[in-house]
Chains A and B, each alone.
Chain A
Amino acid sequence: MLRVETATKQFENGFLALDSVNFQVNTGEIVSLVGTSGCGKSTLLRVIAGLDSPTSGHVLIDNKPILSPHPAVGIIFQEPRLMPWLTVQQNVQFGLETLPKAEKERLTALILDRVGLTQFAQALPRQLSGGMAQRVAIARALITKPSILLLDEPFNALDAFIRMQLQDHLLQAWNYDRPTMILVTHDVEEAVILSDRILVLRGNPGRIHQEFTIDLARPRRRTDLHVQYWKEKLLNALDLSIDQRSAIEV
Chain B
Amino acid sequence: MSSSSSKRHSSITSFKARSYKPRRSQWSWARSFVLPVVLLIGWEFLSQIRFFLPNLLPAPSSVIAAIWDLALSGELFHHVGITLYRIVLGFTIGGILATILGALTGYSRSVHQFIDPSLQALRSIPSLAWVPLFILWMGIGETPKVALIAVGVFFPVYLNLMSGVQGVDRKLVEVGKAYRLSSLQLICRVFLPATLPAYIVGLRSGLGLGWMFVVAAEVMGASQGLGFLLVDGQTTGRPTIILASILLFAALGKLTDAGLAIAGKRLLHWQDSYGSHT
Contact = CB atoms under 8 A, between A and B. Distances in A.
A119 interface: yes
Interface in B82-123: none
Interface size bucket, B side?
20 to 34
B20 A127 contact: yes
A51 B9 contact: no
Interface in B239-268: none
B125 interface: no
A124 interface: yes
Contact of A51 (B174, B196, B270): B174
Interface string A83-125: 1111100000011000000000000011001000011111111
Contact of B180 (A69, A79, A113, A123): A69
A85 B18 CA distance: 12
A81 B270 contact: no
Interface string B37-78: 000000000000000000000000000000000000000000
Interface residues of A, number: 30
B27 interface: no
A83 B194 CA distance: 8
Given A69-B177, A83-B193, A94-B179, A118 B9 contact: yes
Nearest to B192: A85
Contacts of A85: 193-194, 196, 270
Nearest to B190: A83
Contacts of A81: 171-172, 174-175
Contacts of B194: 83, 85
Contact of A123 (B8, B15, B174, B193): B15
A71 interface: yes
A156 interface: no
B193 A69 contact: no
A84 B35 CA distance: 37
Given A49-B178, A69-B177, A75-B178, A113 B15 contact: no
A67 B92 CA distance: 43
Contacts of B236: none
A68 B177 CA distance: 9
B272 A84 contact: yes
Nearest to B175: A81
A77 interface: yes
B15 A119 contact: yes
Contacts of A77: 171, 174-175
Contacts of B178: 49-51, 69, 75, 95
A233 to B, nearest CB: 34
B5 interface: yes
Nearest to B268: A85
Contacts of A222: none
Interface in A33-84: 49-51, 68-69, 71, 75, 77, 79, 81, 83-84
Contacts of A121: 15
A51 B177 contact: yes
A119 B4 CA distance: 12
A68 to B, nearest CB: 7
B172 A118 contact: no
B202 to A, nearest CB: 18
A125 B179 CA distance: 19
A221 interface: no
A126 interface: yes
B32 interface: no
Given A85-B193, A119-B12, A126 B1 contact: no
Contacts of B171: 77, 79, 81
A162 B190 CA distance: 29
B17 interface: yes
B177 A126 contact: no
Residue in A68, A75, A85, A119 whose Cβ sees the most chain B Cβ within 10 Å: A85
B271 interface: yes
Nearest to B273: A126
A87 B17 contact: yes
A126 B174 CA distance: 20
A72 B240 CA distance: 73
B268 to A, nearest CB: 8
Interface string A117-159: 0111111111100000000000000000000000000000000
Interface of A: 49-51, 68-69, 71, 75, 77, 79, 81, 83-87, 94-95, 109-110, 113, 118-127
Interface of B: 1-2, 5, 8-9, 12, 14-17, 20, 171-172, 174-175, 177-180, 189-190, 193-194, 196, 270-272
The 6 closest A-B pairs by CB, nearest first: A126-B272, A95-B179, A119-B12, A85-B270, A85-B193, A113-B5
6 contacts: A51-B174, A69-B179, A118-B5, A119-B8, A119-B12, A126-B270
